[in-house]
Amino acid sequence: MKITPLSAVGAEVTEVDVKGLTDAQDAQLKAAFAQHGLLIFRDQDLVETDHVDLAERWGQINTNRFFKAHADHPQIALVDKAPDQIQNIGGDWHTDHSYDQVPALGSILVARTLPETGGDTWFASMYRAFDQLSDGLKTLLLTLNAVHSAKHVFGNKSEYMQTNISQKRMSRPDLADALPDPIHPVVVRHPLSGRPVLYVNPGFTIRFEGWTQEESAPLLNYLYQSAVVEDQVEVVDWRTGTIAFWDNRATWHFAQNDYPGQARRMHRITIEGEALQAHQ
């Protein structure tokens, strides 16, 4: 097995079959995941049950509440774009599940149908997003918490959700509207590496705790903008046999929507995480 760091974020894993991992390879992958926050496996050949087995090596599966599930394997969420659909899923910078009290660890995404060109996924490191800030701003952020929510994305009032419901890609907006909005530290002690990580994101963070949305927006926007400097973004191209496994606490991702008229189908399994602690 070969683990090669990528240029901006993550590492590429080759010369291994994820269906037959030894305990030693498993330990090596867990260390690489903690260090890099993103593993891109190439040249894999796995069916749905192999995907489930791989995910279970990392933890308990979180069955998605909103996405359409695979008909035979409900633990697998379908991340689909049909040729006649305009909107894709995940087409902006975000990290998944920050709207949960105990956010998911990450997801394992397997390519099933790919467009001829395009459909890359971009990743950004939230270790780097924090590390590059000034000491003054770091000190302030270490004292702050932020409120996150799913309502504006997966709730009844979301246009994105209404489109997805009409296209049968998502459901259960009432569930999103009923979720209590969690409060998480703005700088989290990463559960696997112990390093500080910036834990706000454009998808689901509403405001800083104790601040209004208007007061929060300028600083949040500054953090968002400084987190995705062009040469610090990893552009992951999908090929048949590619699997991406990302850490929701250490990275953001952004699915590119540049393949009009073509289909793209991915299978996603999400793994439960743990409660987040502030980095002191």
Q: Which class for 194: exposed (0-12), middle (13-18), buried (19 or more C-beta within 10 A)?
A: exposed
Stretch near ligand AKG under the rule CB under 6 A, chosen from 88-96, 128-136, 166-174, 193-201: 88-96
Residue 104 touches which of Fe ion, ligand AKG, none (Cβ within 5-8 Å per kind): none
Residue 170 touches which of ligand AKG, Fe ion, none (Cβ within 5-8 Å per kind): none
Site for Fe ion in 71-110 (CB under 5 A): 90, 96
Would you call 133 helix, strand, or coil by DSSP? coil
Per-residue contact flags (x/-) with ligand AKG for residues 96 to 115, judged by CB under 6 A:
x----------x-x------
- DSSP-assigned beta bridge partners for residue 206: none
Smallest gap from Cβ 270 to ligand AKG, in A, equals 8
The tokens 């097995």 sit on which residue? 1
Residue nearest to ligand AKG (CB): 90
Q: Which residues contact 107 (CB under 8 A, 6 or more apart)?
A: 96, 245, 246, 248, 268, 269, 270, 271
The tokens 């850490």 sit on which residue? 247
Q: Nearer to Fe ion by C-beta: 96 or 234?
A: 96
CA dihedral 224, 230, 232, 233 (to 10 degrees): 80
Smallest gap from Cβ 135 to ligand AKG, in A, equals 33
Per-residue contact flags (x/-) with Fe ion for residues 178 to 217, judged by CB under 5 A:
----------------------------------------
Interface residue with ligand AKG, options 255, 269, 271, 276 (CB under 6 A): 255
Would you call 277 helix, strand, or coil by DSSP? coil
Q: Which class for 45: exposed (0-12), middle (13-18), buried (19 or more C-beta within 10 A)?
A: exposed
- Give contact residues for Fe ion (rule: CB under 5 A): 90, 96
